[in-house]
Every structure is written in structure tokens, then in C-alpha cells.
Amino acid sequence: MAEKRGEALFEMVREGFARRGLLGRALRVEHLGHLYSVRCDEDCFTVYRVNDKPFLPPGLPGWSVCRLGRRECFSLEMGGVACPLPTGGEQVAQARAWVEMVLERLDS
């Protein structure tokens, strides 16, 4: 069941990026005082937390907080406090929160 919800969620975000002409482009969004690089193409949607340490090159390194595809779903909580195993409905719910936040930022 979680796999079908994940696939539907991916199709929703892929369509959202395509409709805005942003498919395949890396974008920057800010959320809760942190910078994220987001990207969606035909295969997956990713949210990458940009490391904000001043002694590192801008945007490098960082870490993946959400990766969503037709058959995969990995997502940290939006606060970054938990790293659940990449199976089941909890990850889809966390990925949905990332998707909704990113799409909302794209419209503002």
C-alpha cells in the first residue's frame, strides 16, 4: 500500500515541476532557517540539505533528506531528527510533507 501511495506522490510532484517548467532543474529553497537544494526529473524527486558551515564551500557538502521515486521512498522528518528505515507508510508521510513544502515555495 505504501508503495502505491509513494508512486502517486511522486507523480504529483513530477507533474508539479513539469507544469512550472522546472523539471530537471536544481532549485534552492529555504525552510526553518536552512537552505535546501531541490530537484525533480522523470526518475526521482530529491531534497538535499545544504551544509551551512562557514568554513566549507557554498553548498558542499550536504546530505539527502528526501528521495522519492516511483518505487522508492526515503525521507527524514522535516526537523531532521529521525532517520526511519526506507520502508512503509511513515516515509511516504514524511516525503509528502517535503513535497507540499517545496510546491508551496515554488508558488510564492
Residue 51 is predicted with a pLDDT of: 80
- Residue 85: which pLDDT band, with cuts at 50, 70 and 90? very low
- Residue 86: which pLDDT band, with cuts at 50, 70 and 90? very low
What are the residue ranges spanned by the domains of the chain?
A: 2-107
Percent of the chain with pLDDT over 70: 81
Residue 13 is predicted with a pLDDT of: 96
Quote the mean pLDDT of the chain.
82
Is pLDDT larger for residue 100 or for residue 76? 100
The per-residue DSSP string of 48-107 comes to EEEP--TTS-TT-SEEEEEEEESS-EEE--TTS-----S-SHHHHHHHHHHHHHHHHHHH
- Residue 38: which pLDDT band, with cuts at 50, 70 and 90? very high
